[in-house]
């Protein structure tokens, strides 16, 4: 028996079938051992204390308690324990939060087994593992928007149209007339533009427009 050498993994998930399935999978690995299964947040600290796992696999939603918060608490008390979030949520914001909190990984529950094992090993080697499926989906969309110059100035297409007309010296009425918008719409846009760009008057707006050639 070389039980002491096997790495102790704690499973935290309120979904029994998933939790049990995962236990079987991990136990099958020669170097891994499931040292405990936690089904609700309140049992977590007792088992962590008694089992001292090397790695905790943590669900995000534990009957209303957030797994990321819970993981941070564990990490604060036991800085050596690796904590990886294993969730159904394909949510970049949650992944980012996990990263910022200092947890070690974020993986989707439906990741194939090899990927899961790879993630576990990566994290145990002292690195971080964040599911590429979650990251990729956002990068893809950011690309579609990243090239827009106006958006980098934090202006919408309509605001750019209006600024360029202001620069040409048109009044609100004339702008409304030219763009077939209502006077109220143009006024609202101007108010927003000034607020967003932190400009106090038309002169500042015109010089802004000149600087960026709008």
Partner 1 sequence: MKSWLLITLLLLRISSAIGQITEPLVLSENFTDSLLTRQVSFIPDSSNTIAISDVDKNPNRRPYFHNTVVFGGINPPMWLVFDVVSSKSNISSFILNVSYIGLDGAEVFIKDGFGRILKLPKVLRRYPISARQIPDNKLLFQFSLNPNLRYTIYVKTPRAYERHMISLILWDEHTFLVSNLKQTSIFFLLLGALLLAVFVSLLLFIFLKDAIFWQYGLYVLSLCAAIFIISGYGDPSILAIHILKFDHTTAFVTVLSTSIHIKLSNNYLSVKILAPKWLLLIGEVIIASCLLAASLFFLPWSGIHGMLLSCCYQLLIFAELYIFACILLGMRRGHIPAIIYFVRFLPFIIGLPLLLNLQVLDYIYQSLELLLGAAFFEVVFLGTGIGFSYYKTRKAETQLIAKLNQTQAQVIQTQELERQRIAADLHDDLGGTLSTIRRKISDIRLRLTDIEIIAAFDNLEPLITKSGDDLRRIAHNLMPPEFERIGVATSIEQLVRAIPAKPVRFEFLISGDEHKLGLETELNLYRITSELIQNILKHARAKRASVQLIYYDTNLTVMIEDDGIGYKIVGGDLSSTGIGLKNSKLRADYIGANLTTETSSSGTMIILEIPYPSSSYEPATTNKDFAG
Residues engaged in binding partner 1 (CB under 8 A)? 13-15, 17-18, 20-22, 25, 60-61, 66, 88-94, 97, 109-110, 112-113, 138, 141-142, 144-145, 148, 151, 154-158, 179-182, 184-185, 188, 192, 195-196
Least CB distance to partner 1 at residue 52 (A): 26
Least CB distance to partner 1 at residue 106 (A): 13
Distances (CA, A) of 59 to 66, 72, 98, 123: 8, 13, 12, 16
Least CB distance to partner 1 at residue 111 (A): 8
CB 119 within 8 A of CB 107: yes
Least CB distance to partner 1 at residue 105 (A): 16
By C-beta, is 122 or 156 nearer to partner 1? Answer: 156
The pairing of strands 61-62 and 65-66 is antiparallel
By C-beta, is 42 or 93 nearer to partner 1? Answer: 93
Q: For residue 13, give both structure tokens.
A: 């998930």
Residues 6+ apart with CB under 8 A from 61: 14, 67, 87, 89
| Nearest-angstrom CA–CA distance, 93 and 100 | 10
| Nearest-angstrom CA–CA distance, 38 and 14 | 7
Least CB distance to partner 1 at residue 124 (A): 20
Torsion of CA 150, 155, 157, 163, to 10 degrees: -100
Least CB distance to partner 1 at residue 133 (A): 10
Residues 6+ apart with CB under 8 A from 179: 158, 161, 162, 165, 186
By C-beta, is 10 or 181 nearer to partner 1? Answer: 181
By C-beta, is 54 or 161 nearer to partner 1? Answer: 161
By C-beta, is 49 or 148 nearer to partner 1? Answer: 148
Q: For residue 11, give both structure tokens.
A: 């499973």
By C-beta, is 81 or 83 nearer to partner 1? Answer: 83
């Amino acid at each position: 028996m070389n039980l002491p050498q096997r790495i102790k993994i704690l499973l935290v998930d309120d979904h029994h079938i998933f939790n049990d399935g995962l236990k079987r999978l991990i136990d099958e690995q020669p170097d891994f051992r499931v040292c405990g299964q936690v089904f609700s947040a309140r049992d977590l600290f007792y088992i962590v204390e008694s089992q001292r796992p090397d790695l905790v696999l943590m669900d995000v939603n534990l009957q209303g308690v957030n797994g990321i918060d819970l993981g941070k608490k564990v990490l604060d008390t036991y800085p050596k324990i690796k904590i990886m979030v294993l969730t159904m949520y394909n949510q970049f914001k949650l992944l980012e939060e996990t990263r910022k909190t200092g947890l070690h990984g974020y993986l989707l529950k439906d990741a194939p087994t090899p990927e899961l094992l790879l993630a576990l090993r990566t994290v145990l080697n002292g690195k971080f593992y964040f599911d590429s499926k979650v990251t990729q989906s956002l990068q893809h969309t950011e690309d579609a928007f990243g090239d827009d110059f106006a958006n980098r100035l934090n202006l919408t297409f309509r605001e750019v149209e209006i600024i360029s007309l202001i620069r040409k010296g048109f009044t609100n009425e004339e702008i409304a007339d030219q763009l077939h918008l209502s006077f109220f719409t143009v006024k609202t846009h101007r108010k927003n533009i000034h607020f967003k760009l932190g400009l106090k008057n038309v002169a500042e707006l015109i010089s802004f427009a000149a600087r960026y050639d709008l």
